[in-house]
Amino acid sequence: MPKRFVVAASDFPDLPRFPVGFELAEALTVASQQLHEAPTPQGTLRTAARLAVHIMPGAEHAGVSEIERGNKLRSLVWTDEVVRSAEARHGGREQHGHWDQLWHSPVARITDSEAEDGWDVLSALGLRSALSLRLRSDRRRLTVLTAYARKPGVFDEAATRVGRLFTAHVSLALDSVTVREQLTEAMHTRDLIGQATGILMERQGIDAAAAFESLVRASQRENVKLRDIARRIVDTHNTS
């Protein structure tokens, strides 16, 4: 379960709020640096939500959600509980064109929750405007950043353009940290398999090829990933 966090202006002292003109380029540069400093994909998403309320004109709250086919929505990170409450109420219990639109378009907007059908939840929480921007997509799910405001009509075309520039930086940072995490995992897996192979060579008096084949056969026989078989052997060896 993602942890709650609260946005404070002091979190990002280098960022001008609601930047315009050359300030936008400067703000996006600072934001990009902070996004790329996050060590994990989850950390990148937390940073993105917190930055959104500084970068995107009119944004007061923000969150990142995952939407599966059928419009089942799951909140990943949020700036405060009002976002979590709003998205939890629309978390898969009903279809809605706003979320469906994001499968076909990178942007979906709510101009006024009190005037548009189906958004009683938002208006009850005092949220009148929303701007959803797609970060990632595949055949099964979307990752979406949504900014919220308490006034209607906040997210106009200019705010949407800023939002799309910002989410382009978020997507690049997310791809980068995901690749780093995958490479780290691959290196860890390689080292783990190497250790397990060495242990089997010593125990059974066999060469490296035979030891690796033994790992593969065990993986297939037990229908368990090779790295998990290797981890089990290494852990047993270290505790014996």
Q: Which CATH number do you get for residue 194?
A: 1.10.10.10
Q: Residue 173 above 70 pLDDT?
A: yes
Last residue of a domain, one of 160, 179, 198: 179
3-state helix, strand, coil in the chain (%, to 5): 55, 15, 30
Q: How many CB atoms lie within 10 A of CB 189?
A: 16
What's the CA gap between 179 and 15, in Å, rounded?
27
> What pLDDT was estimated at residue 10?
44
Last residue of a domain, one of 128, 158, 179: 179
pLDDT tens track for 70-86: 768 889 999 999 998 88
Same structural domain, 172 and 231: no
> What pLDDT was estimated at residue 153?
94
pLDDT tens track for 10-51: 455 556 566 656 688 888 999 999 999 999 999 999 999 999
> What pLDDT was estimated at residue 23?
84
- Residue 149: which pLDDT band, with cuts at 50, 70 and 90? very high
> What pLDDT was estimated at residue 183?
86
Quote the domain boundaries for residue 20: 9-179
Same structural domain, 150 and 204: no
Q: How many domains does the chain have?
A: 2
> What pLDDT was estimated at residue 86?
84
- Residue 4: which pLDDT band, with cuts at 50, 70 and 90? very low
What is the average per-residue pLDDT within 195-206? 91
What is the average per-residue pLDDT within 179-207? 89
Straight-line distance from the first to the last Cα atom of the chain, in angstroms, rounded to the nearest whole number: 35
> What pLDDT was estimated at residue 1?
39
Same structural domain, 140 and 108: yes
> What pLDDT was estimated at residue 91?
58
Same structural domain, 165 and 87: yes
> What pLDDT was estimated at residue 55?
93
Say which CATH number the domain at 131 has.
3.30.450.40
Q: Which two tokens stand for residue 208?
A: 């490296």
Burial of 27 (0-12, 13-18, 19+ CB in 10 A): buried
> What pLDDT was estimated at residue 110?
93
